[in-house]
Amino acid sequence: MQQNSPAKINLFLEVTGHRADGYHEIRTVFAPLHSPLDHISLARCTSDGPTLACDHVEVPVDERNLCWNALLLHARETGLDSNWHIDLAKRIPVAAGLGGGSSDAAATLKLLNSQAGARALSPAALSRLASQLGADVPFFLEPTVSLAEGIGDKLQPVPCAASLPVLLVNPGCPISAAWAYGALGRVPVPDPPPVQALLDALAAGDAAGVAANTFNALEHAVLHKFPLLGMLRDELVTAGCMAVHISGSGPTLFALGESDCLDDAAQQMEQRVGAPLWVHRTRIMRTAGLLSQPHDSAADGN
């Protein structure tokens, strides 16, 4: 059985507080993307406990992998065994602010739950389990444009009238989310626009309004530490993109704009900068229904 897991960008990310347990309280707007998609397959295996293979050298294939953790947690919660082999085809850049590991973990939970029969967990119980794996994981259980508060786990889907075009640019230097949050306060952060302005623009399908109200409190320290990102951002702005920000803790930059403009900007980035830049054109996914549901690969001959 297999499932695709999407990437996300944060159209808005405001840090609203710091909790005693080390987590930050945030207000963020998650937008899932049509691509890139990781691809997760699960098959029964004879070993005692999970095994995992991944085609990306930087992704751990043991208990450090969030899919592995998701499997053990789901098995413990349902009382089912964990004798599964996980095959992970990684297409979402790693440690990139695009939520790849969290998305893979959510996909693993959904796949397992679809096979759990009478022991399947309710949506609320699955969501609770997801939040134990990471603050972003519950969002990926039903990835649709959402306002998230708390540590990012209190989710409220929001209307989004247009599948807005997006350009992603990743320079290939991984950034840890813990570092980016730790660096908050080292450089001044401007006041965010009211999040409601972004939500209104999304509901109206107003691309210019969306672009004008994007915000990321984390990006200022990240841009300060990695000047290359500022140079790439300036190139994208010069190429006519309407808004350019870092997604989450970075380093991936996302640009919003007209499709043709983003195509031209993508071409320019590839020609002027080239390798090792990863440049990807995609769109915001308006509804999770567009993503393939967990399905049995044996049934379709794969």
Q: Which residues bind ligand ATP (CB under 6 A)?
A: 59-60, 64-67, 94-102, 104, 134, 136, 177, 248-249
Nearer to ligand ATP, 56 or 283 (CB): 56
- Classified as helix, coil or strand, 296 is coil
Is 136 among the catalytic positions? yes
The CB-of-6 to ligand ATP minimum distance in angstroms stands at 12
Contact assessment for residue 122 and residue 202, using Cβ atoms and an 8 Å cutoff: no
- In whole angstroms, how close is the CB of 39 to ligand ATP at the nearest point? 12
Phi, psi of 272 (to 5 degrees): -85, -35
Is the Cα dihedral 61, 91, 106, 83 positive or negative? negative
Query: 48: Cβ–Cβ under 8 A, 6 or more apart, which residues?
Result: 83
Cβ proximity to ligand ATP, 54 vs 207, nearer residue: 54
Closer to ligand ATP by CB, 166 or 201: give it. 166
What SS3 state is found at 121? Answer: coil
Strands (E), 45-133: 51-54, 84-89
- d(Cα 138, Cα 16) in Å, to the nearest integer? 20
Give the three-class secondary structure for 251.
coil
CB-nearest residue to ligand ATP: 101
CA distance 12 to 210: 10
Contact indicator for 158, 219 with CB cutoff of 8 Å: no
The single-letter code of the amino acid at 75 is A
- Smallest separation (angstroms) from ligand ATP to the CB of 163: 22
138 vs 130: CA distance, rounded Å: 5
Q: How far is the CB of 134 from ligand ATP (least distance, A)?
A: 6
In 3D space, the residue among 10, 98, 32 whose CA is nearest the CA of residue 290 turns out to be 32
Among residues 38, 104, 136, 153, the one annotated as catalytic is 136
Strands 84-89 and 165-170: unpaired
CB closer to ligand ATP, 39 vs 233 = 39
By C-beta, is 143 or 248 nearer to ligand ATP? 248
Least distance (Å) between residue 14 CB and ligand ATP: 16
Minimum Å distance from CB 208 to ligand ATP?
28
Instruction: Please give the order of strands across the beta sheet that includes 165-170.
Output: 243-246, 253-256, 165-170, 278-283
152 vs 262: CA distance, rounded Å: 29
**Complex with ligand ATP: residue 113 or 252, whichever CB lies closer:** 252
Dist CA 215 CA 236 (whole Å): 16
Catalytic residue numbers read 8, 136
